[in-house]
């Protein structure tokens, strides 16, 4: 089966003719899985399968839909896994991307483009994007203290460091986020930090990073959330609370070899923080689809730069803040000097799920709890899983 032309085009055309006047334009997306492990059923229902069902529904209705996602190839989860397995990060990422892409095909997920973040379209788009954000006055440089492992000769960003959460005291918190209380963290906030590679206690070292000025966007983001009447109530409350606490500046760069090189002047040896580039994959995946799969480059502007396009994000609840505050903030900063027909459209809606439970523990890829999507298909037929997962969707 041709993955990119999965749905029945003839039937779709008939429906389009019937409903041409009300036809809407949609970008449907599902969260990008890290390539450090095979997705589990919780990842599948939370984003991939729900998005697939929705995209199929829209196509049946006759709407114009582009449905994209991809593998999150960069960042510390992949770099840590590669180091532990003694292979290069690129080798690990490309191997696992192939496996995941093939599994989504087996699950009949009707992506128009399932790509990855280590492709040239994404890398170029991301670098140009951040140069524009900098030109528009949203990037500043700062010297900061960070953790460094002498034993591994390595700075320890994000998941290269583990320790106790300063908020909920969970002992399995990581340098970027606590899975238990969902709070975003920085490595220095962890109590009793340990290097994730060798387990030694790191030392503190000074380094320079480039920061995104979110405080400057605070009011605009508050307006965006307040004026959006359709986002789910739980997401609205979470976002407004977070805005009330104050949105801090966030470092765009990392001292990490595996990633997209930061495009800023004198930022040699820095890469862009994986979250800040993978989220742009929603945009670049449509660009790549238009240019390389459809071979109609104008389709990119047609979807992403039309103010009436509806973009929807199917995500786990731990990603709400990132999709409704961080991502729109980046888009606003990029859009600032653009004419109306060149602005990227802001998020229309998110659909988030609670965590799927496995017996009494939540499914977790990083902790190895749950049923994996490759094993599931050996246990029961596809339609059994597709029905049961949608039926039991944890909302
Ligand atoms: Zn916590
Ligand atoms: Zn170490």
Tens digits of per-residue pLDDT, 234-280? Answer: 889 999 999 999 999 999 999 998 999 999 999 999 999 999 999 99
Nearest ligand to the CA atom of 168: 1
The ligand minimizing its distance to the Cα of 183 is: 1
Query: In terms of Cα–Cα distance, which of 327, 319, 302, 307 is closest to 354?
Result: 319
Residue 275 token pair:
């979250």
The region of weakest confidence among 282-296, 312-326, 366-380 is 366-380
Ligand nearest to the CA of 197: 2
Residue 158 Cα, ligand 1 centroid: separation in angstroms?
15
Given this model, what pLDDT does residue 393 score?
A: 80
How many angstroms is it from 177 CA to the middle of ligand 1?
A: 8
| Residue 90 to residue 78: CA distance in whole angstroms | 9
Start-to-end Cα distance in the chain? 32
The better pLDDT of the pair 319, 362 is held by 319
Counting ligands in written order, the one closest to the CA of 150 is 2
- Of 34 and 223, more confident: 223
Q: CA 96, CA 344: separation in Å to the nearest integer?
A: 31
Instruction: Please give all residues whose CB falls under 5 A of ion ligand 2, grouped by chain where several chains appear.
Output: 149, 151-152, 195, 197-198
For 358-380, what is each residue's pLDDT tens digit? 666 666 656 666 788 888 888 88
Residues of the chain with pLDDT > 90, as a percent, come to 67
Give per-residue pLDDT as tens, 171-209.
999 998 898 998 889 999 999 999 999 999 999 999 999
The pLDDT of residue 364: 65
pLDDT-based confidence at residue 5 (cuts at 50, 70, 90): very low
**Ligand closest in space to the Cα of 154:** 2
What's the 372 CA to ligand 1 centre distance in angstroms?
26
Distance (Å) from CA 196 to ligand 2 centroid: 7
**Per CATH, which fold does 3-69+81-116+281-391 belong to?**
Rossmann fold (3.40.50)
What is the rounded distance in angstroms from the CA atom of residue 47 to the CA atom of residue 29?
8
Average confidence (pLDDT) over 332-337: 98
ipTM of the complex: 0.97
Query: Which pLDDT does position 18 carry in this prediction?
Result: 41
In the reported structure, the alpha carbon of residue 93 is separated from the centroid of ligand 2 by a whole-number distance in angstroms of: 22
Ligand nearest the Cα atom of residue 191 = 1
Per-domain residue ranges of the chain: 3-69+81-116+281-391
Ligand nearest to the CA of 195: 2
Cβ partners under 8 Å of residue 330, min gap 6: 129, 133, 212, 276, 279, 280
Distance 182 CA to ligand 1 centre (A): 6
Q: Are 209 and 142 in contact (CB under 8 A)?
A: yes
Distance 161 CA to ligand 2 centre (A): 9
């Amino acid at each position: 089966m041709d993955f990119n032309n999965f749905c029945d085009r003839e039937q779709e055309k008939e429906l389009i003719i019937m409903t041409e006047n009300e036809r809407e334009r949609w970008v449907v997306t599902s969260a990008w899985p890290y390539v450090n492990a095979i997705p589990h059923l919780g990842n599948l229902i939370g984003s991939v399968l729900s998005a697939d069902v929705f995209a199929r529904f829209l196509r049946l209705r006759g709407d114009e839909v582009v449905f994209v996602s991809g593998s999150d190839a960069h960042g510390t989860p992949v770099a840590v896994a590669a180091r532990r397995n003694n292979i290069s990060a690129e080798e690990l990422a490309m191997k696992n991307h192939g496996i995941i892409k093939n599994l989504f095909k087996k699950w009949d997920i009707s992506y128009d483009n399932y790509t990855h973040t280590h492709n040239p379209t994404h890398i170029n788009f991301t670098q140009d994007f951040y140069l524009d954000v900098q030109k528009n006055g949203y990037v500043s440089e700062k010297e900061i203290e960070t953790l460094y492992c002498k034993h591994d000769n390595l700075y320890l960003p994000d998941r290269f460091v583990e320790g106790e959460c300063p908020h909920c005291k969970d002992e399995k918190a990581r340098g970027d986020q606590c899975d238990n209380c969902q709070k975003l963290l920085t490595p220095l906030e962890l109590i009793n930090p340990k290097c994730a590679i060798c387990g030694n206690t790191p030392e503190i070292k000074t380094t320079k990073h480039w920061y995104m000025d979110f405080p400057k966007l605070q009011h605009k983001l508050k307006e965006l959330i307040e004026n959006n009447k359709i986002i789910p109530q739980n997401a609205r409350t979470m976002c407004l609370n977070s805005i009330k606490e104050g949105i801090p500046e966030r470092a765009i760069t990392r001292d990490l070899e595996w990633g997209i090189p930061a495009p800023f002047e004198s930022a040699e040896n820095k890469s862009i923080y994986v979250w800040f580039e993978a989220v742009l994959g929603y945009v670049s995946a449509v660009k790549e689809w238009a240019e390389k799969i459809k071979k109609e480059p104008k389709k990119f502007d047609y979807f992403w730069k039309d103010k009436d396009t509806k973009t929807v994000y199917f995500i786990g609840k731990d990603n709400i803040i990132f999709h409704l505050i961080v991502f729109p903030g980046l888009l606003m900063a990029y859009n600032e000097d653009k004419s109306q027909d060149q602005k990227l459209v802001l998020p229309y809606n998110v659909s988030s799920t609670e965590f799927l439970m496995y017996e009494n523990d939540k499914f977790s890829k990083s902790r190895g709890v749950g049923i994996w999507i490759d094993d599931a298909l050996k246990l029961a037929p596809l339609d059994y899983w597709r029905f049961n997962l949608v039926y039991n969707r944890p909302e």
